[in-house]
């Protein structure tokens, strides 16, 4: 039984489905954290050294963010109480939008409550039935869902394959939109931005880049993929950033030209029909932005950790490194049960590294997804490398 996408079934046998998932080693389990996000966390009552968060700059538990959020609570209370367009758009939201737009050198930025919702919002507002979205096959799930919900035709090109993309752009009808992750969330590699920009211009297409893993991390000053590639985004480029990753807070934003951002304000359903994020969270994000901008040492330290990790795991048997220079450093193991066995062995040594299995990654592509943070120390990376060495010898 395979309840995959599009199966025509009238009634699910969920007991059987759960049993089959368990037999295939694909059951997911929640763990419970009892301390702040950081390299050393108390999880399910045990101390672990964790390599799995998206808290790339180590800001999730920064005292300056906490102080800003406290001050925001004192000033604005807790809940926003309504959607942005009713009376839930606070000064803190407004200032954050202006500061984000200034930081990125674009005309406008619009806050959303999550990155998932920002993606649904930007795609659904700009394209619909009769249009075509040409999307990288390895895009984040929220981008796939965004296209499906928009009603536009979804045309998926092979990962970073520009010839495939170009052929699909030629065949596309209606408004065209190219949709890609800036940094791919499961592989950690980057999109070929210069070529994507060129194709978008040639075909007069929107180019929407999801910078969830890039803002704060890539580029000399953390402005993401475009800065790293030495490119200035044009009029038809929109960038989505999440605040729950490198910024250490929660929420997301879309940044770009004044007109598309105005269209988002008028039309994005995940903007119109949801409660604004708590205003105090926006105060914390403003404090985060200042740190992202000013503390380049965090990116330098992170780059040093990435290089050390890659050198350390080079040549480890049974693990395939992916060409990634970002803090996402997957080690492809192959089968799901083997990935889980390795994660369990690391766990027994007090190290938390998630095993990522289908359907998040393709069958046979199960992996240990190591993510590094500026909050890690060199000694933490060394501990992980030596534990991996021991585990690969056993499994
Ligand atoms: C995490 C992520 C999102 C979703 O962002 P949230 O704010 O967590 O909802 C969107 N796109 C990509 C590529 C992501 O990694």
Please tell me the predicted confidence (pLDDT) of residue 316. 87
Would you say residue 100 lies in a domain?
A: yes
Q: How many residues does the chain have?
A: 395
Would you say residue 369 lies in a domain?
A: yes
Q: Are residues 229 and 348 in the same domain?
A: no
Domain termination site, one of 253, 275, 294:
294
Q: Are residues 280 and 325 in the same domain?
A: no
Q: Are residues 253 and 309 in the same domain?
A: no
Distance 131 CA to ligand 1 centre (A): 24
Q: Are residues 304 and 289 in the same domain?
A: no
In angstroms, the CA 376 to CA 307 distance is 13
Distance 185 CA to ligand 1 centre (A): 9
Q: What is the pLDDT of residues 286-310, one digit of tens each?
A: 999 999 999 999 999 999 999 999 9
| Atom 3 in ligand 1: residue holding the nearest Cα | 115
Q: Which ligand 1 atom is at minimum distance from the Cα of 244?
A: 7
Residues 92/282, Cβ–Cβ less than 8 Å: yes
Would you say residue 7 lies in a domain?
A: no
Q: Are residues 220 and 301 in the same domain?
A: no
- Other Cβ atoms closer than 10 A to 220: 10
The answer to pTM > 0.85 is yes
Q: Are residues 255 and 318 in the same domain?
A: no
Only one residue has tokens 């075509």, namely: 132
Q: What is the pLDDT of residues 365-380, one digit of tens each?
A: 999 999 999 999 999 9
76 has binding-site annotation? no
Strand partners, 83: none
Please tell me the predicted confidence (pLDDT) of residue 11. 76
Structure tokens at 302: 């992170």
Task: List the catalytic residue out of 53, 113, 155, 185.
Answer: 185
Distance 188 CA to ligand 1 centre (A): 14
Taking residues 261-267, report their average pLDDT. Answer: 98
Please tell me the predicted confidence (pLDDT) of residue 12. 84
Residue ranges lining ligand 1, Cβ < 6 Å = 114-116, 119, 140, 142, 181, 185, 210, 212-213, 242, 244, 252
Residues 391/351, Cβ–Cβ less than 8 Å: no
CATH number of the domain bearing residue 95: 3.40.640.10
Q: Are residues 51 and 40 in the same domain?
A: yes
Domain termination site, one of 244, 276, 294:
294
Please tell me the predicted confidence (pLDDT) of residue 52. 95
Q: From 53, 114, 116, give the residue whose CB has the most ligand 1 atoms within 8 Å, as the site to mutate.
A: 116
> CB under 8 Å, gap of 24 or more: what pairs does 357-363 form?
357/25, 357/26, 358/26, 360/186, 361/186
Q: From 55, 142, 239, 250, give the residue whose CB has the most ligand 1 atoms within 8 Å, as the site to mutate.
A: 142
Strands 176-181 and 153-157 come out as unpaired
Q: By percentage, how much of the chain surpasses pLDDT 70?
A: 97
Report which secondary-structure segment, H or E, holds 383.
helix 378-394
In angstroms, the CA 217 to CA 206 distance is 24
Confidence of residue 8 (pLDDT cuts 50, 70, 90): low
Would you say residue 277 lies in a domain?
A: yes
CATH number of the domain bearing residue 340: 3.90.1150.10
Q: What is the pLDDT of residues 325-345, one digit of tens each?
A: 999 999 999 998 899 999 999
Please tell me the predicted confidence (pLDDT) of residue 7. 54
Q: Are residues 278 and 328 in the same domain?
A: no
Active site residue 245: yes
Q: Are residues 104 and 33 in the same domain?
A: no
| Atom 7 in ligand 1: residue holding the nearest Cα | 115
Task: List the catalytic residue out of 89, 245, 301, 376.
Answer: 245
**Average pLDDT, rounded, for the chain:** 95
Q: What is the pLDDT of residues 17-68, one digit of tens each?
A: 999 989 987 788 899 999 999 999 999 999 999 999 999 999 999 999 999 9
Q: Which ligand 1 atom is at minimum distance from the Cα of 242?
A: 7
Q: What is the pLDDT of residues 157-182, one digit of tens each?
A: 999 999 999 999 999 999 999 999 99
Would you say residue 145 lies in a domain?
A: yes
Taking residues 311-324, report their average pLDDT. Answer: 89
Distance 212 CA to ligand 1 centre (A): 6
What region, left, alpha or beta, does residue 315 occupy, with left being phi > 0 and alpha being psi -120 to 50 degrees? Answer: left
Would you say residue 285 lies in a domain?
A: yes
Residues 117/249, Cβ–Cβ less than 8 Å: no
- Other Cβ atoms closer than 10 A to 108: 20
Active site residue 93: no
Confidence of residue 391 (pLDDT cuts 50, 70, 90): confident
132 has binding-site annotation? no
84 has binding-site annotation? no
Task: List the catalytic residue out of 84, 89, 93, 213.
Answer: 213
Q: What is the pLDDT of residues 122-144, one digit of tens each?
A: 999 999 999 999 999 999 999 99
213 has binding-site annotation? yes
Q: From 37, 123, 140, give the residue whose CB has the most ligand 1 atoms within 8 Å, as the site to mutate.
A: 140
15 has binding-site annotation? no
242 has binding-site annotation? yes
In angstroms, the CA 386 to CA 382 distance is 6
Distance 354 CA to ligand 1 centre (A): 17
Distance 57 CA to ligand 1 centre (A): 16
Please tell me the predicted confidence (pLDDT) of residue 1. 47
Q: Which candidate, 265, 263, 193, 267, places its Cα nearest to that of 234?
A: 193
Would you say residue 3 lies in a domain?
A: no
Distance 394 CA to ligand 1 centre (A): 35
Q: Are residues 140 and 278 in the same domain?
A: yes
Range of the domain at 216: 63-294
Q: What is the pLDDT of residues 217-242, one digit of tens each?
A: 999 999 999 999 999 999 999 999 99
Q: What is the pLDDT of residues 70-88, one digit of tens each?
A: 999 999 999 999 999 999 9
What domain count does the chain have? 2
Active site residue 11: no
Q: Are residues 122 and 210 in the same domain?
A: yes
- Other Cβ atoms closer than 10 A to 55: 25
Domain termination site, one of 269, 294, 319:
294
Q: Are residues 109 and 220 in the same domain?
A: yes
Would you say residue 15 lies in a domain?
A: no
360 has binding-site annotation? yes
Confidence of residue 317 (pLDDT cuts 50, 70, 90): confident
């Amino acid at each position: 039984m395979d309840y995959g996408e599009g199966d025509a079934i009238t009634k699910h046998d969920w007991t059987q489905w759960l049993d089959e998932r368990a037999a295939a080693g694909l059951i997911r389990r929640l763990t419970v954290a009892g301390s702040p996000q950081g390299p050393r966390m108390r999880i399910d009552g045990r101390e672990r050294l964790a390599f799995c968060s998206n808290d790339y700059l180590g800001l999730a538990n920064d005292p300056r963010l906490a102080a800003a959020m406290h001050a925001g609570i004192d000033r604005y209370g807790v809940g926003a109480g309504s959607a942005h367009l009713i009376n839930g758009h606070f000064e803190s939201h407004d200032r954050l939008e202006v500061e984000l737009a200034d930081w990125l050198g674009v005309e406008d930025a619009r806050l959303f409550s999550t990155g998932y919702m920002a993606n649904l919002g930007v795609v659904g507002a700009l394209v619909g039935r009769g249009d075509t979205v040409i999307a990288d096959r390895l895009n984040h799930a929220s981008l796939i869902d965004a296209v499906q919900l928009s009603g536009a035709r979804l045309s998926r090109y092979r990962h970073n394959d520009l010839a495939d993309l170009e052929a699909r752009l030629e065949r596309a009808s209606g408004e065209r939109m190219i949709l890609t992750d800036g940094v791919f969330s499961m592989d950690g590699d980057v999109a070929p931005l210069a070529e994507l920009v060129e194709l978008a211009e040639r075909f007069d297409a929107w180019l929407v880049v999801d910078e969830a893993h890039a803002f704060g991390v890539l580029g000399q000053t953390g402005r993401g993929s475009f800065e790293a590639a030495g490119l200035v985004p044009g009029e038809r480029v929109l960038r989505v950033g999440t605040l729950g990753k490198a910024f250490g807070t929660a929420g997301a934003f879309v940044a770009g030209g004044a007109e598309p951002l105005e269209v988002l304000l008028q039309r994005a359903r995940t903007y119109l029909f949801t409660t604004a994020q708590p205003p105090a969270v926006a105060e914390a994000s403003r404090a985060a932005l200042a740190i992202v901008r000013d503390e380049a040492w965090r990116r330098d330290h992170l780059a040093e950790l990435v290089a050390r990790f890659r050198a350390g795991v080079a040549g480890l048997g049974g693990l395939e490194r992916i060409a990634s220079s970002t803090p996402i450093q997957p080690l492809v193991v192959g089968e799901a049960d083997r990935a889980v066995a390795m994660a369990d062995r690391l766990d027994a040594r007090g190290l938390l590294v998630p095993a990522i299995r289908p359907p998040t990654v393709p069958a046979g592509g199960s992996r240990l997804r190591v993510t590094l943070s500026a909050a890690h120390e060199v000694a933490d990376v060394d501990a992980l490398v030596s534990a991996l060495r021991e585990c690969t010898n056993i499994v």
